Amino acid sequence: VDTSILENVDINVAWELVEKFSTMPRWKPEDVNKGADLIIDKLKEYGVNHEVLTPSLYLSIPFEASVKIEDGTTMHAKPPSYSKNCIDGLNAPLHYVPAHYSKDIDNLFDRSQDKEASSPDKVRGKIVISEGFSFPGKIQDFEKAGAVGVIAVNPGADAHWGICTAIWGIPEYDDLDIVPKIPVVAVNKSDGDKLIELSKNNKNATIFTKMEEGWYMQKIPVVTIEGTENKEKYSLLHGHYDSWDVGVGDNATGDACMLEIARLLTNNKSKLKRSVKIAWWPGHSTGRYAGSTWFADTYAIDLDKNCIAQIDCDSP
């Protein structure tokens, strides 16, 4: 790397975006576009060549969820994207399927639920409660076995957002049979432990979810910094700018990093042999990579022909 470029790195440029994003939830479509506008304003300020793509993306927007038990207590919960909307509630017996929490990233997505407790004769018609997150594979297994709902018991004091569909990007006709058709929620460990005890006494619970699905215009800022020789060939640097809540580590820091790289490479474009493209994706959290998948589908021929490398800048 040219040392003169590194010497001109300005942490304040990147940090300003991190600070703004730290007060700005970015999962509802209108808030996501406001986040894009901040990035676009900075690109204009620094004189960076860019365009703004505006695709319509199919997204599942989670709003709120709760679990009500027979004594009238209501527990706070969070619904993952692509949970079924169940605003009037779904009441059914609880059934506990033991599972273990992942110890590290290598087995984060493993299906660790107890096989005997997951059998259709035990799961059918029940709301399954199980440790872990609402990952797609686990939700698919429970739904196929006949579960009418799932409560994921997250570790720690917080319930977490997530996404429970296995579909990558916008669902197509052939995917419709694997779109989740049951309500799914996440609760924290304390509430989860209480629900597990209730399940052992054959108690019922009611799941409530508030969801919204549909097509939303979302902004994709794309920077192009042309090289001096083989300018049709390029490296693609990219990362998502939507987030659960404010998402400082996932992915405000990555967004800020890409912004500073765009500024630096624009100021040093005479040193580039090939071109560089930098793109910020929406729909990562609420559409399972809907923005980047749309881009890959739309520009597939160009990417195949001219993109020589890609770097995902997520949570640096």
What percentage of the chain has pLDDT greater than the value 70? 97
According to the model, what pLDDT value does residue 247 have? 87
Mean pLDDT, residues 135-148: 95
Could you tell me which residue, 177 or 42, shows the higher pLDDT? 42
According to the model, what pLDDT value does residue 217 have? 98
- Do residues 90 and 205 make contact, with C-beta atoms less than 8 angstroms apart? no
According to the model, what pLDDT value does residue 1 have? 59
Q: In this structure, what token pair is assigned to residue 128? A: 């399954």
Q: Tell me the H-state helices in 8-131.
A: 11-21, 29-45, 120-123
Mean pLDDT, residues 181-204: 97
- The tens digit of pLDDT for each residue in 193-241 reads 999 999 999 999 999 999 999 999 999 999 999 999 999 999 999 999 9
Q: What is the DSSP letter of 188?
A: -
Judged by average pLDDT, the poorest of 158-162, 174-178, 295-299, 305-309 is 174-178
Judged by average pLDDT, the poorest of 101-105, 175-179, 278-282 is 101-105
According to the model, what pLDDT value does residue 173 have? 87
- The tens digit of pLDDT for each residue in 116-131 reads 999 999 999 999 999 9
Question: How many angstroms separate the CA atoms of 131 and 152, rounded?
Answer: 6
According to the model, what pLDDT value does residue 103 have? 67
45: how many CB neighbours lie within 10 A of its CB? 10
Residue ranges of domains in the chain, CATH in brackets: 3-55+218-312 (3.40.630.10), 60-213 (3.50.30.30)
Mean pLDDT, residues 61-86: 98
Mean pLDDT, residues 295-303: 98
According to the model, what pLDDT value does residue 104 have? 67
Mean pLDDT, the chain, whole residue set = 94
- Do residues 169 and 60 make contact, with C-beta atoms less than 8 angstroms apart? no
Q: Of 61, 89, 39, 104, whose CA–CA distance to 209 is shortest? A: 89
According to the model, what pLDDT value does residue 109 have? 62
- The tens digit of pLDDT for each residue in 280-293 reads 999 999 999 999 99
The whole-angstrom distance between residue 289's C-alpha and the CA centroid of its chain comes to 7
CA atoms within 13 A on the CB side of 225: 26
Q: Of 208, 161, 214, whose CA–CA distance to 30 is shortest? A: 214
- Do residues 6 and 12 make contact, with C-beta atoms less than 8 angstroms apart? no
- The tens digit of pLDDT for each residue in 150-178 reads 999 999 999 999 999 999 998 888 888 88
State yes or no: cis peptide before 268, omega within 30 of 0: no
Mean pLDDT, residues 95-108: 78
